[in-house]
Structure 1
Amino acid sequence: MGTTETFLIAMTIIFGLPYLIWRLGRTDYVAPLVVVQILLGIVLGPGVLGAAFPHYYATVFNPPVIQALNGVAWWAVMLFVCIAGIELDLKQSWLHRRETVLTAGCALGVPLLSGALAAVGLLAAGAGWTGPAGRPWQFVLGVGMACAVTALPILMLLMEKLGILRAPLGQRVLRYASLDDLAIWAVLGLILLDWERVGRQIAFLGGFVALAWPFRALMRRLPERDRWYVVPVWLAACGFAADYAGLHFMVGAFLAGAVLDRDWFALAKMDLLRHHVLLVLMPVFFLSTGLRTSWSVGGAAVFLAAGALLAAAVAGKLAGVALAGRLLGWRRGDAWLIGWLLQTKALIMIIFTNILLDRGVISAATFTALLLMAVASTMLTVPVVRPRLAVYDGEAPMAPAE
């Protein structure tokens, strides 16, 4: 068969199998479709079926097909991260700045510390966890931030399923997650800082700031229908400039969305775009993520590392939010509910760790452990949060303490 036919076979597998498992298995309560897609990507990768049936793997996922899939995956994830940047509501964060900054700081700082300690433990355990280009401080900071990440797009998806996305609680949680998203990309920029190309990186940041103001002025003058056409052009240009500067095209994609106001786009259309990207493009990214999984350190070691990282991430997030709740005088039980919502990982953490893997900061085995941790944390959210939400039925909205 030619590359086109093999590519279409791969696409049939990528879109067909997860849907059948999710629909027939009725896994939505524990594992939403996005989680099933990630897990199946792991199964279809070289670590599972590729090792058991190498002929299947070499035939279906040959280099030309993988190259084509990677192109689709790159654009899909750039669109998704750009949407996440647009969804940031910095105006609301500023209106509730004391509560938002304190909560976001605690919710990010404590799991960052616990994750960094877990990373130090991995370094002490032996070789095989750090990437070929990763320095110890980059590895520790990168793994720590991976444990602290809150996946804003998936958080929105889960809160929509729980019926709280547009409720006061949901908007409150989104403020905390939005501010943490900014910090995540700032830390990523620090980790990826290339001192040999620092001049080019500074030029990119300066040029981006200089162009962002006139671009925003242009967007204000355009009718909404034209804004939808201009955004992909802006996104591609920012992604190219960031990657050429030695950062990563995902940093450019996030910045491209972050400088745009959410109010410039109809909310219903933005929700539809996010859903459509998840439906028709992101499964390819999940598959390409699964193709990167590796058990090279040893299966047991990878699972043990994933368990340790999961414990550090969840415990750190809950402890950080509990600290914020105590300082702000929240009602009893608020911190537990908000902490479990904010510990959702999945997409943003997978994107974050993909970049660390691309840049050689972490090894393939560490990436696999972090991927398993992200999937497990996402699967825990709905079963833990849904029963707790029932306690709040009929109660007054949880007003944030200012």
Structure 2
Amino acid sequence: MYPILAAGTLEVQEITVLLLALAAMLGLARILGELARSLRQPAVLGEILAGVILGPTVLGNLAPDAFLYLFPQEGAAAIALEGVVVISATMLLLVVGLEVDLETVWRQGKSTVAVSALGVAIPMAMGMTIGLSAPQWLGAGSSEHGVAFAIFIGIALSITALPVIAKILMDLNLAKSDLGALIISSAMLNDLIGWIGFAVVLALITGEGTGGMPVWLVILLTIIFLLSMLTLGRSLLHRTLPYVQAHWSWPGGVMSFVMFIAMLCAAATESLGVHSIFGAFVAGVAIGDSTHLTERTRDTINQFISNIAAPLFFASIGIGINFVDNFNLPLVIVVLLIALTGKIAGCVLGAKLTGMSTRESWAVGFGMAAQGAVGIILGELAREAGLINDELMVAIVVMALTTSLLAGPLIQKVLGSTTQKRLQDYLGDKYIVIEPEAATRDDLIGLLAQRAAEITDLDATNIKRLTLDRERVLPTGLPNGLAVPHARIDALKKPCVIVGTSRWGIDFNAADGRPAQLIFLILTPPDQPEEQIQLLGLIASTFNSAVVRQRAMAAKTSTEFLAALNVGSATPADDKE
């Protein structure tokens, strides 16, 4: 029945147990993950809770025989389940890598480097100091790898959860703002530094790679692999993707190609004695950096992996640890305090050095402090490698979840509440351009910039240049046919919003693949960052209504457009999407 397996490897009973275990993990993790989402909490919170319920903490105490039947500690079924978990972790790191856009990092320039460098250096120094001075109290798994343990603690307290941060910024309508772009690009560079450092830690732990290679050779080969993938490999993948998209089925063909490359790279780093997750992460960075991989394709891959691999992996953490027996309150407090103070202080200092305001700098610090799923993945891999004990793993899980839960409210708090206006307060007949004669993004922005120049007496060419420069850093296409290109203009005295409508739509690289039919050019003075944030929020809330969107898109005159906006205040809740 299973010709690929050697005879006797998996008996019928073991296959049954394996399938039941996977069903229980995936089913309960999805249910609790969705419940967490409905409460506006990270899904990972519910997924880990599912593992806690199924694991030794709850099921193991209430019904130990049922727990051991469902999750045997040895045998073929246990090995097979471990293999599924390893593949899940590998695929998760592929998704993290796909989120890293090197072009975005480079375009942000010194701001990204300053925030990332100090956001890593300060918590890294604090973590390594305590890791070297009190390894046994902190939770070192062994006294043999003191330096590797200290480096790991530094990385664990300085890592940033890019997917969590992106979701928080989207919920706050900040993802397309300048502040959001800086946080996202800094998190990208932060993750790249962190996972490279973790690869070195893994090499130090093993001491020898496959075939008895010395540790220095393992590190050297890992660096060669990294540089090769981010240069030659990146170029080859960029050239190959158009062929795959043109001749293979979509999205299945592209997904298969991405998975194929990720598996090859994962196997390459695993063969060196460095975990497969690093290879998958590097593959994600190399593939995700290609402009041929559209936001829609990324989202499809992300959805598939995040809804299958993520629940299995995070549930497995709870199944492997007793969270009650291994909860050490002093350790949890120390880990949480170092993670928060070190990360926030470093990122705030970096943001201030680039000229950001005090409030924006603190918002950057709070955003970058979120660790979420990435910190938990890092901790679990270290635990599996024997580098840390279960108590420290529990502390890392608590710290990662707490920082993720605090990030959004703290960002809102520090940015403060400004006097709420309506979108109509920024608009008039001259500010609305119905069906401009433009077929491309650049042409449309040029026409909207020309109208803005007529209103503000500024240079249209400069407005267009600054807006396109910002657009290339982070595309501003939103779901449901919206786009919000924007720029900060030095000579501008007050915010200016120009609206353009396009019947057929213009591509602004939105995640849902839809062209933009309502385009808002937002210009703000550099010293009024809160105005940009408020405008983005107003646009998002106003056009959350399907009725408002439809009427605005159908408007033939500026008066009809303004009338469509007034419908928003009277739109019933069931018209919202």
Determine the C-alpha separation between the residues in 2 that align with 1:86 and 1:23.
Answer: 24
Deviations 1:342-395 (A, max 9, x none): 111122112222222232221232222212221222222233334555636773
Identify the structure with the greater helix proportion. 1
Q: Aligned in 2, Cα 1:369/1:122: closer, same or farther, shift over 3 Å?
A: farther
Deviations 1:298-340 (A, max 9, x none): 545x232122101110111111122123322311211222212
Task: Select which of 262, 287, 307 maps to 2:315.
Answer: 287
The match for 2:159 is 149
Would you say the 8 A contact 2:119–2:158 is kept in 1? yes
The match for 1:238 is 265
| TM superposition shift of 1:148 | 0.9
The match for 1:166 is 176
Determine the C-alpha separation between the residues in 2 that align with 1:212 and 1:342.
Answer: 25
| Secondary structure class of the residue paired with 2:339 | helix
Identify the structure with the greater strand proportion. 2
| Secondary structure class of the residue paired with 1:242 | helix
Identity of matched residues, %? 24
- Is 1:17 the counterpart of 2:45? The answer is no
Please tell me the residue identity of whatever aligns with 1:258.
Answer: V
Q: Aligned in 2, Cα 1:359/1:2: closer, same or farther, shift over 3 Å?
A: same
- Is 1:269 the counterpart of 2:297? The answer is yes
TM-score, structure 2 length as denominator? 0.62
The match for 2:150 is 140
TM-score, structure 1 length as denominator? 0.87
| TM superposition shift of 1:212 | 5.9
| Secondary structure class of the residue paired with 2:531 | coil
The match for 1:259 is 286
Q: Aligned in 2, Cα 1:121/1:368: closer, same or farther, shift over 3 Å?
A: farther
| TM superposition shift of 1:295 | 6.0
- Is 1:184 the counterpart of 2:194? The answer is yes
Q: Aligned in 2, Cα 1:179/1:26: closer, same or farther, shift over 3 Å?
A: closer
Would you say the 8 A contact 2:20–2:70 is kept in 1? yes
| TM superposition shift of 1:175 | 0.8
Please tell me the residue identity of whatever aligns with 1:100.
Answer: T
Higher relative contact order (CA 8 A, sep 6+): 1
The match for 2:71 is 61
The match for 1:316 is 342
Q: Aligned in 2, Cα 1:210/1:174: closer, same or farther, shift over 3 Å?
A: closer
Larger radius of gyration: 2
Would you say the 8 A contact 1:151–1:349 is kept in 2? yes
Please tell me the residue identity of whatever aligns with 1:321.
Answer: C
Aligned pairs for 1:175-214 within 5 A: 175-194=185-204, 195-196=207-208, 197=213, 198=215, 199-206=217-224, 209-210=227-228, 213-214=231-232
| TM superposition shift of 1:44 | 2.4
Deviations 1:278-313 (A, max 9, x none): 1122100012222232469x545x232122101110
Determine the C-alpha separation between the residues in 2 that align with 1:164 and 1:206.
Answer: 37
Task: Select which of 360, 366, 370 maps to 1:340.
Answer: 366
Would you say the 8 A contact 1:318–1:335 is kept in 2? no
Would you say the 8 A contact 1:238–1:256 is kept in 2? yes
- Is 1:38 the counterpart of 2:48? The answer is yes
- Is 1:247 the counterpart of 2:260? The answer is no
| TM superposition shift of 1:102 | 0.9
| Secondary structure class of the residue paired with 1:2 | helix
The match for 1:396 is 531
Determine the C-alpha separation between the residues in 2 that align with 1:25 and 1:84.
Answer: 21
| TM superposition shift of 1:151 | 1.0
Would you say the 8 A contact 1:293–1:365 is kept in 2? no
Please tell me the residue identity of whatever aligns with 1:77.
Answer: A
